[in-house]
């Protein structure tokens, strides 16, 4: 398991003797570094998709989009199993020993998850022979490698955010961005030689491998024993909340991403490619909100644990203001720049893409507001209610999306997603008002008891 970087203060308060001045500067600007890093990674991921849209044909981009969606699903599953315990339970644990034991247990769960996901992807490659399954040994190896490396990198990022270890965060992301950018540049400059499905997955994997090598070289690794006595019991202590969070994440993924699977089944990879190509234009909205949620969730959790409700309210209000303003600005920018975008980015490969702008704008704005309010409930450990919300809205989304595709073609796909998001947003907003009122009424109670009362209802 990763400890802190040499020369930096690690997650357990230890400092090695190398480069103390860097440690001091990173500690002084911890939240700025975290926010800048998150924005940089999100913007890079946006540029990555733009490059893939430009160099791949519709069918190839549809295939890559489908497996990137499956990788996102694996990453979504990792969030309640790994990221939320690190950023909610570990940071709120009482005592260094409890913190260390829980962190080790979460690391073991992450390793088992990576093994299980890779085995599942390989099984799909071997058992299914369709236009969406990896075929050939090169693509068959590149896809599971891409998924595994992505899960490992996201684990390291979550661990760095949890510990407040900005050195670990930078060593995780900087090599990934640098190496993958070089690979993408080669694909853009020499598309006849390097542009292809296997090259796309390998480009995204090489950057993650480079970041793991840099972490390995710069950090003190401690061997993790999956048989370490008591780690399953330690993780079992949070299993109830993790289970509800996992239920919510899976249902939410189906709510937000079901259009990919439905379009693949009912229309084909070309339809998926068109939907995701236009969806890329609205990715900066998600980038903005994700940057806020990843860096703010530990702060919201700590504020509730310490009874600082005013700070909690202020952070949520700031998120809503930033999210709303960002949605308005970016949707207007996409509309004004549509003509050159269609000509130079899409290269007229998606002739009916213009009709997808309005439904995608609607969905992007609804998802952003829902995500901001949901992260506030995550900080309050109200995972069970979030699971109920997704269990209600996911079937609504799937039914509405299926009906929209069958009735009006894939052009109306995102209106079905929008209907499910309206249901979700209304439920989450109502619940946050109730939770906030209850927390204010219990402001005099001990912080951990108060959080347990909210999350354990």
pLDDT by 10-residue block (mean), the chain, 457 residues: 38 44 66 77 82 84 87 89 80 71 84 92 80 77 92 88 80 91 88 82 91 78 54 80 82 82 80 85 84 79 82 88 91 92 81 88 94 89 84 91 86 90 94 85 56 47
336 in a structural domain: yes
| Residue 10 confidence (pLDDT) | 44
First to last CA, the chain: 34
Tokens standing for 439?
């927390």
Establish if 248 belongs to a structural domain.
no
**Nearest alpha carbon to residue 431 among 367, 397, 388, 368:** 388
Residue 261 lies in a domain: no
Question: Do residues 421 and 367 touch, judged by C-beta distance below 8 A?
Answer: yes
Largest CA distance in the chain: 67
Q: Which of 84, 73, 253 is nearest to 147 (CA)?
A: 73
Give the count of domains, the chain: 2
In terms of residue numbers, what domain contains 28? 1-237
- Which of 214, 237, 260 is where one domain is finished? 237
**Cα 410 to Cα 275: distance, rounded to the nearest angstrom:** 8
**CA geometry: angle 47, 53, 57, nearest 5 deg:** 155
Predicted confidence at residue 396, as pLDDT, reads 93
Asked if residue 24 lies in contact with residue 10, where contact means CB atoms within 8 angstroms, the answer is no
| Domain identity same for 304 and 189 | no
Nearest to 204 by CA among 190, 173, 187, 183: 183
Q: Is 223 helix (H, G, I), strand (E, B) or coil?
A: coil
Contacts of 52 (CB under 8 A, 6+ apart): 61, 64, 200
Verify that 185 and 39 share a domain, yes or no. yes
12 and 113 part of one domain? yes
pLDDT confidence of residue 446: 56
User: Quick check: is 256 in a domain?
Assistant: no
131 closest CA partner among 258, 279, 271 = 271
Of 182, 215, 237, which closes a domain?
237
Token pair of 158 as six digits: 């979550």
SS3 (DSSP) at 302: helix
Looking at the structure, tell me whether residues 185 and 323 fall in a common domain: no
pTM passes above 0.95: no
Could you give the 3-state DSSP secondary structure of residue 43?
helix
In this prediction, residue 298 carries a pLDDT of 79
Residues 355 and 313 in one domain: yes
Residue 2 pairs in a beta bridge with 221
Residues 402 and 455 in one domain: yes
Q: Which two tokens stand for residue 353?
A: 């893409």
Q: Do 292 and 162 share a structural domain?
A: no
């Amino acid at each position: 398991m990763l400890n802190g970087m040499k020369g930096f203060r690690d997650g357990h308060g230890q400092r090695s003797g190398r480069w103390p001045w860097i440690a001091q500067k990173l500690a002084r600007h911890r939240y700025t570094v975290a926010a800048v890093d998150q924005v940089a990674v999100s913007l890079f991921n946006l540029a990555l998709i733009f490059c893939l849209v430009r160099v791949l044909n519709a069918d190839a981009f549809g295939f890559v989009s489908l497996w990137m969606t499956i990788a996102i699903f694996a990453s979504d599953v990792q969030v309640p199993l790994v990221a939320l315990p690190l950023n909610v339970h570990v940071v709120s644990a009482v005592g260094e020993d409890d913190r260390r034991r829980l962190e080790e247990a979460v690391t073991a769960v992450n390793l088992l998850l990576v093994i299980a996901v890779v085995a599942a992807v390989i099984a799909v490659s071997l058992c299914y022979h369709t236009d969406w399954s990896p075929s050939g040994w090169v693509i068959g190896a590149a896809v599971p490698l891409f998924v595994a490396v992505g899960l490992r990198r996201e684990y390291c990022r979550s661990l760095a955010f949890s510990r407040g270890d900005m050195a670990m965060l930078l060593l995780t992301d900087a090599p990934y961005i640098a190496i993958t950018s070089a690979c993408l540049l080669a694909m853009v400059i020499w598309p006849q030689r390097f542009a292809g499905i296997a090259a796309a997955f390998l480009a995204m994997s090489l950057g993650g491998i480079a970041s793991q090598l840099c972490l390995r070289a710069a950090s003190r690794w401690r061997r993790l024993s999956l048989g370490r006595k008591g780690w399953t019991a330690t993780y079992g202590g949070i299993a109830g909340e993790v289970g509800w969070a996992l239920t919510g994440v899976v249902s939410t993924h189906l709510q937000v991403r079901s259009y990919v699977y439905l379009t693949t089944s009912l229309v084909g990879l070309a339809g998926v490619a068109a939907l995701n190509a236009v969806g890329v234009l609205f990715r900066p909205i998600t980038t903005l909100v994700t940057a806020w949620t990843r860096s703010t969730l530990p702060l919201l959790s700590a504020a509730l644990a310490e009874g600082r409700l005013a700070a909690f309210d202020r952070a949520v209000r700031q998120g809503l203001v930033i999210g709303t303003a960002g949605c308005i600005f970016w949707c207007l920018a996409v509309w004004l720049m549509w003509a050159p975008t269609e000509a130079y980015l899409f290269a007229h490969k998606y002739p009916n893409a213009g009709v997808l702008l309005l439904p995608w704008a609607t969905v992007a704005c609804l998802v952003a507001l829902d995500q901001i309010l949901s992260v506030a409930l995550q900080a309050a450990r109200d995972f069970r209610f979030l699971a109920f919300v997704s269990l209600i809205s996911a079937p609504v989304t799937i039914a509405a999306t299926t009906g929209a595709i069958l009735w009006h073609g894939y052009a109306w796909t995102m209106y079905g997603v929008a209907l499910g998001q309206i249901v979700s947003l209304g439920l989450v907003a109502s619940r946050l008002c109730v939770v906030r009122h209850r927390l204010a009424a219990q402001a005099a109670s001990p912080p951990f008891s108060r959080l347990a009362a909210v999350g354990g209802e």
